[in-house]
């Protein structure tokens, strides 16, 4: 079942959570966590996102995020897309796994 659409508007606050497929780990090393934090920083710079709080668990993460520009979909596409590409390449994850 698809996630319901979020209402987006400038100045909104969101509690975002994202979990790995089949609850598998999304962070396997300190390097993975560091790379994810780099993508949070670049989302903040590129899309004017304000990350108030984050929590990285082994198989998911939480963000308290503010969108002064009302552009949550672009922010999340950047964070999740860039990190997924990194994680797949860094950890040898592919269709056969």
Burial tier of 72 (Cβ tally within 10 Å: 0-12, 13-18, 19+): buried
Q: Residue 4: what pLDDT?
A: 74
Quote the pLDDT of residue 93.
Answer: 72
Give the pLDDT of residue 94.
Answer: 57
Per-residue pLDDT for the chain (97 aa), expressed as one digit of tens each?
Answer: 676 777 899 999 999 999 988 889 999 999 999 999 999 999 999 999 999 999 999 999 999 999 999 999 999 999 999 999 999 999 887 544 4
Please give the backbone phi and psi of residue 35, each rounded to the nearest 5 degrees, phi first: -65, -40
Distances (CA, A) of 76 to 92, 96, 97: 23, 27, 25
Ordered structural domains, the chain, with CATH: 12-87 (3.30.70.1290)
């Amino acid at each position: 079942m698809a996630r319901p659409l979020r209402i987006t508007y400038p100045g909104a606050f969101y509690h975002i959570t994202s979990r790995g497929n089949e609850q598998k780990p999304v962070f396997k090393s300190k390097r993975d966590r560091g790379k994810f934090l780099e993508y949070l920083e670049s989302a903040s710079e590129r899309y004017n996102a304000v990350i108030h709080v984050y929590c990285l668990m082994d198989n998911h993460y939480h963000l308290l995020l503010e969108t002064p520009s009302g552009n949550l979909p672009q922010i999340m596409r950047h964070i999740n897309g860039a990190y997924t590409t990194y994680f797949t390449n860094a950890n040898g994850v592919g269709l056969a796994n």
